[in-house]
Amino acid sequence: MRRRQFMALAGAAGAAPWIAACGDRREPGRLYGRAVAQAPPRTPWDAQWTNFETNIAANPTLNFEYFTKAELGDEERMLHDLRRGRAHVGGMSLQGLSSSIPELTLAMAPYLFDSQAEVDFVYDEYLFDITDELARAQNLRLLQWVEVGWTHVFANRPLTHPDMAAGLRMRTSPNAAARFFCEAAGMDAIPLGIADVIPALQTGLVQGGLSSAVFHFFSTLDLAEHFTLTRHSYDTGAIILNKPWYENASDSQRATIDTAWGSPASARAGVRVLDDLVVGWMRDGAQRGPDGQVVREIRTTNGAPINIHELSDSDRAAWRAVTGNVLDRLINSFGGRARDFADQIMAGKAAFAQHAAEGPHPEEPA
């Protein structure tokens, strides 16, 4: 046997267990899957994955492996695996997912949304179908929206007004909306992966960053004295599927997968409750348990208290003014279907405004 033939056969044999573990049917009628995410322990996302696992296990034809605490790498790696069928179900932030579906970046433009109710309406009624269509072109499917929350800023100083941000070295994701937001306020945007954030803060490579309250609380809380509630962008997050894997599942298997996560409303509610809690804990300087007793004092690594800052109406207006061109910059940067996506957002916002102006219909709760 020629060496090339031998090496090819040996490589195929060595790869067989990996291929089988990546979604191929090893027994007739059974579907194997791998779930990936970056869910911090003891958070609503962790609890939601536990619930998902329980619901999947109720179908004996589904056999899943779970790597939902970043065991297999960052979002870039997870998305790579999802597109290529090495993973099959993934929990992604829009920051991460937008690297494959850049049009999603438009939905994270600064001060695009005014309330969570508006976010929910626009995403559910106007952005789901177009996002799933764009996902299919990337060998993916959108299962449902989940929740990350409002994006804020943390730093070594208050940032209630954009004039206070000039020259600040800020960690951002590679997402263009985050980068353009920082640049519009005169900050130095430094894209870093999640694993690099803490060392960069510790060494002074960056002086702050952008984050939801919950992610900040569980990752970078003790490395920044100031957390400013800018609420400048909203990251809903999404559950993403590998397209061929999902479409090759049986009707029964797809029905289980479709409902295993629970409703978008329940997914959002759990995160929003915790978001309110952690902001309250940061304000009080202490984390409290269900019985109201102090679990731990909240301090930086240097022992300094955490300072929470709200924007005044004039502060918010200043931030809106200085970042007002970001949406147009994003549309012009991406081309493709960026204009179609932006039109969907604006149509959804207009429909929400009309709905709010008319008030609830008789059959709807007030």
Pull the structure tokens for residue 99: 């690297």
pLDDT over 90 at 360, yes or no: no
- Domain parsing of the chain, residue ranges: 20-149+236-265, 150-234+274-335
For residue 58, CA distances in Å to 51, 315, 333, 340 come to: 11, 51, 46, 40
- Supply the pTM of this predicted model: 0.87
AA identity, residue 1: M
Distance of CA 73 to the CA centre of its chain: 15
Average pLDDT over residues 60-88: 94
pLDDT over 50 at 155, yes or no: yes
**CA–CA distance, 109 with 104 (Å, rounded to integer):** 10
Alpha helices, DSSP H, located in the chain: 3-21, 44-57, 75-84, 94-97, 116-122, 128-136, 176-184, 194-203, 213-219, 243-247, 251-260, 264-284, 313-322, 326-334, 338-358
AA identity, residue 224: A
Pull the structure tokens for residue 128: 């789901």
Instruction: Give the domain 150-234+274-335 fold.
Output: D-Maltodextrin-Binding Protein; domain 2 (3.40.190)
DSSP structure class, residue 305: B
191-216: per-residue pLDDT in tens?
987 778 899 999 999 999 999 999 89
Distance of CA 123 to the CA centre of its chain: 14
Residue in 172, 242, 239, 245 with CA at minimum distance from that of residue 210: 172
3-42: per-residue pLDDT in tens?
333 233 333 333 333 334 444 446 778 999 999 998 888 8
Domain 150-234+274-335 in the same topology as domain 20-149+236-265:
yes
Q: How many CA atoms lie within 13 A of 348 on its CB side?
A: 24
Asked if residue 210 lies in contact with residue 234, where contact means CB atoms within 8 angstroms, the answer is no
Quick one: pLDDT at residue 189?
95
Asked if residue 19 lies in contact with residue 25, where contact means CB atoms within 8 angstroms, the answer is no
Three-state DSSP at 334 gives: helix
Name the burial class of residue 278, with classes exposed (0-12), middle (13-18) and buried (19+) by CB atoms within 10 angstroms of its CB: buried
Q: Which CATH superfamily is 20-149+236-265 part of?
A: Bacterial extracellular solute-binding protein, family 7 (3.40.190.170)
AA identity, residue 212: S
Residue 110 neighbours by CB distance under 10 Å: 23
**CA–CA distance, 262 with 209 (Å, rounded to integer):** 32
**CA–CA distance, 93 with 146 (Å, rounded to integer):** 9
pLDDT over 60 at 363, yes or no: no
Length of the chain, in residues? 366
Quick one: pLDDT at residue 267?
87
Residue in 196, 218, 198, 226 with CA at minimum distance from that of residue 304: 226
Pull the structure tokens for residue 336: 């493709």
Alpha helices, DSSP H, located in 123-220: 128-136, 176-184, 194-203, 213-219
76-129: per-residue pLDDT in tens?
899 999 999 999 999 999 988 999 999 999 999 999 999 999 999 999 999 999
Pull the structure tokens for residue 137: 């072109």
